[in-house]
Chains A and B, each alone.
Chain A
């Protein structure tokens, strides 16, 4: 009787223990993943802070952990062997279309698929005698596998979190990619495959570790030793010196020029993306007289997904912080030849080529057939890139007519359209004094043979080109019904005002206006604007040429810059957002006459119309956050291009069509390549400084917003961002201290 009771209570105890144990495990798993920043694949490289997992720590401490985790010259040999096999399997499973014969069971979940194949992996199985039996005795649930493995490796439960974290950080690139899949990717098409990837990934890492390196507990002492030896004060001080230099310069520029003024006889108003590359171009077009410019997030406030009807592509065209709310169809804007037919012919060509290349025996015939042509084409592309580009364009034109795409706004209800239009206009501070032509300018880049191409595109559009969003907002605002609703809200757009979408090509500085269906009355004006844009282009290219170190004259700068966009050998087609350092929120007259050197994000903002502070709240919690990601990415890629960047482009190797490895195989190289932040192997171009946010608004505005947002409090308290407030009444400058006190600067 008693023994029976004892047994029952014992069992209860065990059950409770198991529950506790499970809880500890679950918590440790989720905590370990919280250290890992996501990594977006090459198809839309979104900038992220590689130390995003350490943002809850003061910047200086985060630097220290960064060194201890990611900048260690050594790693225990056993861990390297585990990495070797992890890389092999990860490459195979996450391949998005490089291999022709896919990994068997690739459609299953990560763990199921790898565990199905692992018993046949002699290299792993033969590492120890009992491996195969052990592997086959594993439980089926990932969390149980994790638990078993931790037991096997004799990790005490107090060290679970630390050990699991190390399992992730020692192969940081791949863990980052899994974080992206887990938290950010669009999983609509993948079914349930990734539902518990965080457990499955760790389970596989641990299973491999148990078989290949049973003494893996040593990695803990490796880490603690590293942590003990680490010091970040030197780097921190260096960064601070650079920041103070920059800030002094910026403030003196800003202080000298605060006065409101009016542009006489406006030719047009242009709204650019906040991107730092817009700033010099805005200056250049303003210099042509008669232009007023604004800065606004390049997705123009439209949370949309674009469906391209011709090639079947579909992608979110809004910041990754937002979920697209509308599906917009892009239709060709053309008459005459059928673009669908043209596309399918081109597709057939590519498909035929691929089918001969990726098949058996046929490649032997293919190389003989195409060898001469490829040799010729390679010579043309290397020696005369422009001729190659022209002939390619010509050939494509022969096959299918060139067409412009136009987004169709019908899937958004009229009220919604008016709502988006209204809030966009208010946010950019364009609510009266409309000129006859208002142009929304999205942006994108064109580069050749560049794996990192999307890192140069519009971050606000999810790493894509921004033309569709610009066109769509213009189209909405040209609708008389929309204007009618807006008018009832107090914004009166004159009948004589016409909105246009456009795209600024940041590589060539060409601004393409989408004026295909503009009424005839505006044609002349538009023509005039085009001419001025061309002049601005010339001016900006000249400035950029100097920064790119091109030896040229003002006349030739444009051509030389243009050539870079066509050149398949070019590793620095443009500087992207390199040198970014500040984010200025305020009216354009605050900055209009200073040369900010392309280092500032500019967001238009008029505090007068922001009584409930919603506009400033949005700016501080969305674009500023995105800018902080960008700034951190550039900063860390420059600080240590091996640990946080992509390494040199010249030895890169694209795996699975998703990411870069170095050479034969390596961890995924997250972050920007050396050539994006360095002017040469030994000299950096980007400057390592944290982002300074400058707000032209009453201090009380800023205070109340920060007090309501923990995320912002964290970033400012931990010094990931600096903030300067310009009090409009007195034009005094205040700096926000770590304790949220203001000090005059």
Chain B
């Protein structure tokens, strides 16, 4: 009886493991961190409820239950964000988030309506296994994509995420590993809907790419640690959706999980931000570096391909992952080669190969377990364009000269900087512009 509403596949299990792990660890952290806080017990209650809701969300096989869990868990998240409810800015943050979640909720509800009309089924699996040719499925897919974009703070729905830092640190830690990823999960869950819609997939690629670029750029100009982390999450969400758009849903889920762990840790550790010093990168322009680093990059890209069971120069979208690993390997090699250590050549080789091997191995674990979500596409113009963009931005970021030393200041640079600064500001209502309006 109950089992007809539950569907546990590798995707649900992966998500359950992730969310239980994060909630457990952050909960343990909060035991000491929230010591003496007025609402410590309420926090635990809400956190446990949220855990239950998300676990249900990822394992139910019924449109209505899914919708219910989706709405409920977003509601609980908003309540958690509202921890300091006497603080006006925190209230406004929560309000902004709930408006956004409302959008995603409406999107899903409407999409589900279409799905039901098209198939007359309430079971998600039944829908996905039915003949996916109905004309009503396209609007459903578009609406689901819209919901995913709002949920995962994709551009232009990013403001709520950049304005969400009035929440206590543990809430941010849970959120950035949890419900922000909702969009990725949603698309993975309904992946079969998108498989045969290259134009939709291309659209996802573009949206993902734009968000990845914006988030990544904004992150680099942020002046406070938490907003930097939020912008970074935004960029990573973009990359996750980009992978979805490439048909690499399993890689997207890998990214979702690993980024969640990574970002949670960084939030919890954000109290140390003042202590770790900014060590400026200095690339000594030695000829050997410029030649050697790309070669080491190629070697490490091969090791990535080897460990992730891919063919390095295959004509499908996996190529983009190979490119990203190549960029990572080259960057690391370049950095080590620029040091003065005698063993730098050996060290650079070992480090970049090790890094890309780990990257490959981890991706492989996910992809082999979630192989049914693996739908790589043939390379098309959009894919080539996005590879070029990722590569070019990386090249510029290596060779950029420090803006503060630019003499004279180029007008377009000043303009670009200011517009990025303004675009990445939180919503004005969520900023405490008068100190005494802060309230614990």
The residues of A with any CB-CB pair to B shorter than 8 Å are 42-43, 70-75, 79-81, 83-84, 87-88, 91-92, 95-107, 116-117, 120-123, 170, 172-173, 344-345, 347-348, 350-352, 354-356, 358-372, 374-375, 377-379, 381-383, 448-451, 453, 567-572, 641-643, 647-658, 661-667, 669, 674-675, 678-682
- CB neighbours of B45 from chain A (8 A): none
> Is B324 close to A, CB under 8 A?
yes
Given A99-B221, A666-B431: A356 and B436 within 8 A (CB)? Answer: no
Q: Do A665 and B431 have beta carbons less than 8 Å apart?
A: yes
Q: Are A352 and B223 also in contact (CB < 8 A) when A364-B324, A665-B432 are?
A: no
**Distance of A46 Cα from B332 Cα, bound (Å):** 39
Interface residue B438 (Cβ < 8 Å from any Cβ of A): yes
Complexed CA–CA distance, A655 and B37 (Å): 24
- Whether A375 pairs with B265 at a CB distance below 8 angstroms is yes
CB-based nearest A residue for B254: A368
Q: Does B270 contact A (CB under 8 A)?
A: yes
B236–A364 touching, CB < 8 Å: yes
Q: How far is the CB of A357 from chain B (nearest CB, A)?
A: 8
Is B30 an interface residue when CB atoms closer than 8 A count as contact? yes
Residues from chain B with a CB closer than 8 A to the CB of A351 are: 279, 281, 335, 339
List, sorted by A's number, 8 A–B pairs whose CB atoms are closer than 8 Å.
A92-B421, A101-B417, A104-B413, A370-B258, A642-B435, A656-B223, A666-B89, A667-B432
B418: interface (CB < 8 Å): yes
A361 touching B257, Cβ below 8 Å: no
Q: Report B-chain residues with C-beta under 8 Å of the C-beta of A344.
A: 339-341
Q: Residue of A at shortest CB range from B263?
A: A367
Whole-angstrom CA separation of A350 from B278 in the bound complex = 10
When each residue 225-248 of chain B gets 1 if its CB lies under 8 Å from chain A and 0 otherwise, what string results? 111100010011001000000000
Q: How far is the CB of B23 from chain A (nearest CB, A)?
A: 12
Report whether B339 and A348 are in contact in the complex, using a CB–CB cutoff of 8 Å: yes
Residues of chain B with a CB closer than 8 A to A84's CB: 428, 431, 433
B274 touches A680 (CB 8 A): no
B403 to A: closest C-beta gap in Å? 4
Residues in chain B near residue A116, CB distance under 8 A: 409, 414
A651 touches B414 (CB 8 A): no
Q: Is B197 an interface residue (CB 8 A)?
A: no
Beta-carbon contact of B393 and A360 below 8 Å: yes
Whether B286 sits at the interface, judged by CB under 8 Å, is no
Check A371/B261 contact, CB under 8 A, given A100-B220, A121-B418, A449-B269. Answer: yes
CB proximity to A under 8 Å, residues B282-319: none
Residue of B nearest to A89 (CB): B421
Shortest CB-to-CB span from B172 to chain A, Å, is: 9
Contact across chains for A88 and B425 when beta carbons are under 8 A apart? yes
What 1/0 flags go to B13-52 for Cβ under 8 Å of A? 0000000010011101111111111100000000000000
A653 in contact with B165 (CB, 8 Å)? yes
Of A103, A360, A368, A652, which is within 8 A of B394 by CB?
A: A360
Complex alpha-carbon distance, A379 and B28, angstroms: 9
Residue with the greatest number of chain A CB neighbours at <10 A, chosen from B164, B265, B281: B265
Query: Does B430 lie at the interface of the complex (its beta carbon under 8 Å from any beta carbon of A)?
Result: yes
Bound Cα distance A98, B430 (Å): 22
B181 part of interface (Cβ distance < 8 Å): no
Q: Is the CB of B223 within 8 A of A98?
A: yes
B440 touches A674 (CB 8 A): yes
Once A70-B436, A642-B439 are accepted as A-B contacts, the answer to whether A365 and B418 lie under 8 Å apart by CB is no
Chain A residues positioned under 8 Å from B220 (CB to CB): 99-101, 358, 360
With beta carbons under 8 angstroms apart, the residue of B25, B228, B393 that contacts A378 is B25
Q: A123-B422, A359-B394, A650-B33 are in contact. Are A352 and B332 (CB under 8 A)?
A: yes
Separation of A570 and B32 alpha carbons in the complex (Å): 6
The answer to whether B438 and A103 touch across the interface, beta carbons within 8 angstroms, is: no
Task: Indicate whether B216 reaches chain A with its CB closer than 8 angstroms.
Answer: yes
Contacts of B113 in A (CB 8 A): none
Determine whether the beta carbon of A664 is less than 8 Å from that of B261. no
Contacts of A674 in B (CB 8 A): 440
Contact (Cβ within 8 A) B271 A368? no
Q: Mark B330-360, 1 if CB is under 8 A from A, else 0.
A: 0110011001110000010001000110110
The 8 Å CB contact of B259, one of A80, A106, A371, is A371
* Residue of chain B at shortest CB distance from A376: B261
CB of A91 within 8 A of CB of B224, answer: yes
- Tell me which residues across on chain B come within 8 A of A122, comparing CB atoms: 418-419, 422
The residue among B168, B263, B270, B404 with the most chain A CB atoms within 10 A of its own CB is B404
Q: Which of A43, A79, A383, A450 contacts B271 (CB 8 A)?
A: A450
A101 to B217, CA, bound (A): 9
Contact B332 A107 (CB under 8 A): no
The residue that B84 contacts in the complex, of A358, A365, A648, with Cβ under 8 A, is A648
- The answer to whether B362 and A104 have CB atoms under 8 Å apart is no
B398 / chain A contacts, CB cutoff of 8 Å? 359
CB of A102 within 8 A of CB of B422, answer no
Q: Does B1 contact A (CB under 8 A)?
A: no
Q: Give the docked Cα–Cα distance between A173 and B438 (Å).
A: 13
Q: Are A650 and B274 in contact (CB under 8 A)?
A: no
A42 CB contacts on chain B under 8 angstroms: 274
In the complex, B262 has a CB within 8 A of chain A: yes
B90 within 8 A of A: yes
B120 adjacent to chain A (CB < 8 Å): no
A72 x B89 contact (CB < 8 A): no
Q: How far is the CB of A328 from chain B (nearest CB, A)?
A: 22
B36 and A680 contact, CB distance less than 8 A: yes
Please state if B327 and A648 are interface contacts (CB–CB under 8 Å).
Answer: no
Chain A contacts for B279, CB-based, 8 A? 347, 350-351, 354
Known: A361-B327, A663-B432. A648 touches B258 (CB 8 A): no
Top 10 closest A-B pairs, CB basis? A371-B258, A97-B278, A365-B328, A375-B261, A663-B166, A680-B36, A666-B432, A106-B404, A655-B224, A80-B433
Is residue B222 within 8 Å, beta carbon to beta carbon, of the partner chain?
Answer: yes
In contact, A103 and B404 (Cβ under 8 angstroms): yes
A453 / chain B contacts, CB cutoff of 8 Å:
275
Contact A81 B397 (CB under 8 A): no
8 A Cβ contacts from B188-234 to A: 212, 216-217, 219-228, 232
Tell me whether B417 and A117 are in contact (CB under 8 A).
yes
Partner of B403, one of A104, A361, A567: A104
* Closest Cβ–Cβ distance, residue A313 to chain B (whole Å): 9
Nearest A-chain residue to B271, judged by Cβ: A449
Report yes or no: A654 in contact with B222, Cβ–Cβ below 8 A.
no
From A74, A359, A381, A569, contact of B30 by CB (8 A): A569
A378 touches B271 (CB 8 A): no
Which residues on A sit within 8 Å (CB–CB) of B264? 374-375, 378
- B136 in contact (CB, < 8 A): no
Q: State the CA gap A700–B419 with chains docked (Å).
A: 67
Tell me whether B261 and A104 are in contact (CB under 8 A). no
CA distance A663 to B435 in the complex (A): 12
Q: Note all chain B residues with C-beta closer than 8 A to A75.
A: 433-434, 436-437
Are A680 and B262 within 8 A (Cβ)?
Answer: no
Find the A residue at minimum CB distance from B213. Answer: A360
Known: A368-B258, A372-B258, A569-B30. A105 touches B426 (CB 8 A): no
Q: How many angstroms from the CA of A657 to the CA of B276 in the assembled complex?
A: 9
Residues of A within 8 A of B391 (CB): 361
Chain B residues closer than 8 Å to A449, beta-carbon distance: 268-269, 271-272
- Flag if A680 contacts B38 (CB, 8 Å): yes
CB distance from A79 to the nearest CB of B (A): 8
Residues of B within 8 A of A448 (CB): 272
Bound CA–CA A461/B202 (angstroms): 61
Asked if residues A364 and B169 are in contact (CB atoms below 8 Å), the reply is no
Chain A residues in 8 Å Cβ range of B418: 117, 120-122
Which partner residue on chain A sits nearest B28 by CB separation?
Answer: A382
Name A356's contact: one of B83, B219, B236, B328 (CB within 8 Å): B328
For B410, give the chain A residue with the smallest CB separation. Answer: A104
Contact A657 B278 (CB under 8 A): yes
Query: Roughly how many angstroms separate A345 CA and B324 CA in the complex, as a whole number?
Result: 26
Q: A98-B228, A569-B32 are in contact. List 19 more A-B contacts (CB 8 A).
A: A75-B433, A91-B223, A103-B403, A348-B339, A356-B328, A360-B396, A365-B328, A368-B362, A371-B258, A371-B261, A450-B271, A570-B33, A643-B436, A650-B168, A654-B270, A662-B166, A663-B90, A665-B426, A666-B433
